[in-house]
Amino acid sequence: MEQKDKILIIAAAVICIVIACLSPYIASSNPDGLEKSAEDSGLAEDFSVEKINGIPDAVLPDYAFANDPENQPLQIVALIIGIIVTLGLGYAVATIVKSRN
């Protein structure tokens, strides 16, 4: 891997982490999009994952830890964990694909 590629990857990771650190503070507390549509139609109250057998709960529901979903520092930790896992998986897939060619 060339030096400029490494710098680009590091810069992208830093940008992702900065966005993750800022997002809990700048995100709207009012639901929008799919969540808002579900609430307007009444599905939000009637439909939940807990009622469906065989489907496990999310590991980090709403990008937070289940014991304290309103704690913004915990949301940041959850986002950073997601970034690291996603970038790691992407790197692993890219390495596997590159080695097969």
Per residue in 41-69, pLDDT (tens digit) is 766 555 555 555 566 666 666 666 656 66
Asked if residues 78 and 65 have their Cβ atoms less than 8 Å apart, the reply is yes
The Cα–Cα gap between 67 and 69 comes to 6
Hey, where are the domains in the chain? Answer: 3-29+58-100
Q: What pTM, to 2 d.p., does this model score? A: 0.60
pLDDT, one tens digit per residue, over 68-81 is 667 778 878 888 88
Query: Which of 101 and 49 is assigned the larger pLDDT?
Result: 101
Report residue 68 as tokens.
């304290």
Contact 72, 24 (CB under 8 A): yes
